[in-house]
Amino acid sequence: MGFEQAWLSYQRREVCGIAENITGIYAPLQNPVIKSGAEELQTAFAKIVGTRPVLYSDSECGHNRGSIRLMMKEGLPTEGYHIFEEKGMITVEASDANGILYGAFELIRCLQLGKNLEGINLTKEPVMPLRMLNHWDNMDGSIERGYSGNSFFFENDEILVNERIVTYARLLASAGINATVINNVNVKDSATRLITDQYFESLNRLSEIFARYGIRLFLSLNYAAPMELLELDSADPLDDRVRAWWKAKMKVVFEAVPNLGGFLIKADSEGRPGPFTYNRTHADGANMLAEAVKPYGGLIIWRCFVYNCRQDWRDRKTDRARSGYDNFIGLDGTFLDNVILQIKNGPMDFQVREPVHPLFGGLTKTNQMLEVQIAQEYTGQQRHVCYLIPMFKEILNFHTYVKGTDDTVQDIVSGRTFHQTKCGIAAVANTGNDENWTGHDLAAANLYGFGRLAYEPDLTAEEIAEEWITLTYGKDEEIRKELLFILMNSWPAYEKYTAPLGIGWMVNPNCHYGPSVDGYEYDRWGTYHRADHLGIGVDRSHNGTGYAMLYREPNARAYDTPETCPEELLLFFHHVPYSFVLKSGRTILQHIYDTHFEGVELVDEMVSRYERLKGKLPERIYERTMERFLHQKEHSREWRDQINTYFYRKTGIADEKGRRIY
Ligand code: GCV
């Protein structure tokens, strides 16, 4: 066993009477999504319970003890479901096929978790309308920021359509994910041609597989496609020829791939083309495309990750953190209804700690989506364990004060605050063609967890982790206890032994792996810590770049002074002396020393807890995970020592506790 099916690697489990007695599944099998749900139940029962229920092509079975009935029922919320048991018969009802599919997977989850189905009565509905993955896969098979092998969508400029795609779709659907973008947002070379007839047939086949699992296929689009496909000499969004070109192009694309959901666009960012070339706004660019896809119900998801990546480190006025906000806030209300702005969780770039992006709470008249990253680009690259769901929960629970006092990011991206339906959450994916999908076996918790969180954000990070552990490794108290400890301590540990107090970066340039305190300090990317022998941090208060003032009150006021700023973000917002005293009574410098020693100790504890599982987990899986833990153990020491030594050498002030600093 290598976990080729991840958390769907079913094993025999002890189940209650009702589950054992199921012999038939009744469902309108003519609907391909419902058919998938019914077949999933059949397979799961066969493997988990040991009985293989027969499928019947009708949900009108009257009352039939020992059966499962999947049926459509009007009035339930979109993609939601109701499951109940009555006299030995289980019913899953929903108002759409996706709801039934999710209900079927919920039942399977109950089996895997060993829950009693007798008297089950639960109703669920997804909180986020769009629950999406963004793959950064290139058509040569490589993956930008990919840490689990190569792409399983592309190889040698061809699209792969095979069994792995089916398993992928099953995994996504079982976690509640309903959309995916398969190619990198940096659209170059052959990927620009994905909207030409060269790829339509394969795309269509792919989209049909996805559609059977309730997943809509999206593509990343090259903004300059009319030029790069050598058909026009401009991509000016206000040029009639360009607008006509896109309209004609989209007609052809949607006719050939009718299941397509729309497009994701990275424009005017990190060298990608965009409307700025023509002195046009991002609304001009997005709306041009939105008009072209509108007749087909298509969406344009436009990224707000726009900043100047040719900054001068000497310049203290320009602040990369401000740029997303400054570029988009003035456009609020000018985007067409089928445009969604996709906003990274923080203003920089998926650091281990960042404030929430100020566009959340800033924008009030625009569809918005939250972008997080489960590919652990800056959080250990799936070699270190780092369970990110607790971070995502903090982000979703952040109070923006855009409407009253209770309003959170979750309220905005779920559509509650502004009564929107075109919104949701996307994660930069962490999958590849590694046998276990995610390189590190424990990184699969982020993939599963992301989907579950998007569907049911009120679940706690612990609940999601426990679910994932049991689904993946079976019901065993010791496995549950130790893996839960590891997962729940992994993000705090990583934060402790890497860049301190919200300052971020301090990584090796380009690869973004491993410590290099000054790696980006004199570079062009706008990512500085400004440390000298007296202090550290970036002044983003009203006296500095003014970034803190982009938030609504009372957030702006709190961020604006070091005394009221949340300490975990102190160095993000302020330049302070090393002698600044934190609430713990420790100086900043001592805090840096202490947390770096603590982080490594926590890793040691995680590893020794993992060792207790030897003999309990399948050997191959145990060993390959242990290999990563051993690397993390060593690498966390490298982080600790480089950071501590850097600050010791800058300040000449020794650790109060006399520990070894080089
Ligand atoms: C896909 C960061 C990453 C890039 C990525 C970019 C983005 O800068 O390092 O690899 O490009 O974010 O989100 O567009």
What is d(CA 398, CA 261) in angstroms, rounded to the nearest whole number? 29
Is 349 known to be catalytic? yes
DSSP letters along 540-587, please? -STTTT-GGGGSPTTHHHHHHSTTTS-GGGHHHH--EETTPBPTTS-B
Q: How many angstroms does the Cα of residue 162 sit away from the middle of ligand 1?
A: 28
**pLDDT for the residue numbered 287:** 98
Amino acid occupying residue 411: D
In this structure, which residue's CA is closest to atom 13 in ligand 1? 305
**pLDDT for the residue numbered 369:** 98
**pLDDT for the residue numbered 577:** 98
Q: Which of 93, 106, 236, 349 is catalytic?
A: 349
Q: How many angstroms does the Cα of residue 466 sit away from the middle of ligand 1?
A: 31
Is any atom of ligand 1 closer than 6 Å to the C-beta of 204? no
Candidate of 270, 306, 354, 369 to mutate for ligand 1, largest count of ligand atoms within 8 Å of Cβ: 270
Which atom of ligand 1 lies at the shortest distance from residue 344's CA? 13
What is d(CA 512, CA 160) in angstroms, rounded to the nearest whole number? 29
Which atom of ligand 1 lies at the shortest distance from residue 371's CA? 13
Taking the CA of residue 122 as centre, how many other CA atoms within 13 Å lie in the half-sphere pointing to its CB?
14
**pLDDT for the residue numbered 59:** 67
Q: How many angstroms does the Cα of residue 373 sit away from the middle of ligand 1?
A: 10
CB 296 within 8 A of CB 323: no
Which atom of ligand 1 lies at the shortest distance from residue 144's CA? 10
Is any atom of ligand 1 closer than 6 Å to the C-beta of 349? yes
Is any atom of ligand 1 closer than 6 Å to the C-beta of 145? yes
Q: Which of 189, 270, 518, 656 is catalytic?
A: 270
Q: How many angstroms does the Cα of residue 328 sit away from the middle of ligand 1?
A: 19
Task: Select from 631, 388, 375, 633 the least CA-distant residue to 512.
Answer: 375
Chain center to CA of 159: 23
In this structure, which residue's CA is closest to atom 2 in ligand 1? 349
Mean pLDDT (the chain, rounded): 97
Amino acid occupying residue 456: E
**pLDDT for the residue numbered 436:** 96
Q: Which residues of the chain fall below pLDDT 50?
A: none
Q: How many angstroms does the Cα of residue 547 sit away from the middle of ligand 1?
A: 22
Candidate of 349, 378, 525 to mutate for ligand 1, largest count of ligand atoms within 8 Å of Cβ: 349
From the number of C-beta atoms within 10 Å of its C-beta (0-12, 13-18, 19+), residue 619 rates as exposed
DSSP conformation class of 361: T
pTM surpassing 0.95? Answer: yes
* Main-chain dihedrals φ then ψ at residue 404, nearest 5 degrees: 65, -165
Is any atom of ligand 1 closer than 6 Å to the C-beta of 266? yes
What is d(CA 494, CA 603) in angstroms, rounded to the nearest whole number? 9
What are the tens digits of pLDDT across the range 217-240?
999 999 999 999 999 999 999 999
| Strand spans (E) along 494-539 | 535-536
DSSP conformation class of 408: B
Q: How many angstroms does the Cα of residue 137 sit away from the middle of ligand 1?
A: 12
What is d(CA 187, CA 85) in angstroms, rounded to the nearest whole number? 49
Is any atom of ligand 1 closer than 6 Å to the C-beta of 325? no
Is 201 known to be catalytic? no
Which atom of ligand 1 lies at the shortest distance from residue 377's CA? 9
**pLDDT for the residue numbered 1:** 61
What is d(CA 375, CA 381) in angstroms, rounded to the nearest whole number? 7
Is any atom of ligand 1 closer than 6 Å to the C-beta of 267? no
Give the strand pairing for 179-181 and 130-134.
parallel
What is d(CA 285, CA 268) in angstroms, rounded to the nearest whole number? 10
Q: Which two tokens stand for residue 86?
A: 């009555």
Which atom of ligand 1 lies at the shortest distance from residue 145's CA? 10
Q: How many angstroms does the Cα of residue 145 sit away from the middle of ligand 1?
A: 8
Q: Which two tokens stand for residue 449?
A: 């967890």
Is 634 known to be catalytic? no
DSSP letters along 416-451, please? TTTT-SS-EEEEE----SSTTSSSSGGGHHHHHHHH
What is d(CA 570, CA 548) in angstroms, rounded to the nearest whole number? 12
Q: Which of 377, 407, 441, 466 is catalytic?
A: 377
What are the tens digits of pLDDT across the range 437-491?
999 999 999 999 999 999 999 999 999 999 999 999 999 999 999 999 999 999 9
Chain center to CA of 204: 25
């050939």: which residue's tokens? 256
Q: Which two tokens stand for residue 285?
A: 């660019």
CB 124 within 8 A of CB 92: no
Is any atom of ligand 1 closer than 6 Å to the C-beta of 280? no
Return the sign of the alpha-carbon dihedral for residues 143, 386, 568, 555: positive
Query: What contacts 298, CB < 8 A, 6 or more positions away?
Result: 250, 254, 260, 261, 262, 263, 338
Helix or strand run (H / E) with residue 360: none
DSSP conformation class of 654: P
Q: How many angstroms does the Cα of residue 649 sit away from the middle of ligand 1?
A: 33
Q: How many angstroms does the Cα of residue 346 sit away from the middle of ligand 1?
A: 13
Is any atom of ligand 1 closer than 6 Å to the C-beta of 306? no
Candidate of 134, 136, 221, 354 to mutate for ligand 1, largest count of ligand atoms within 8 Å of Cβ: 136
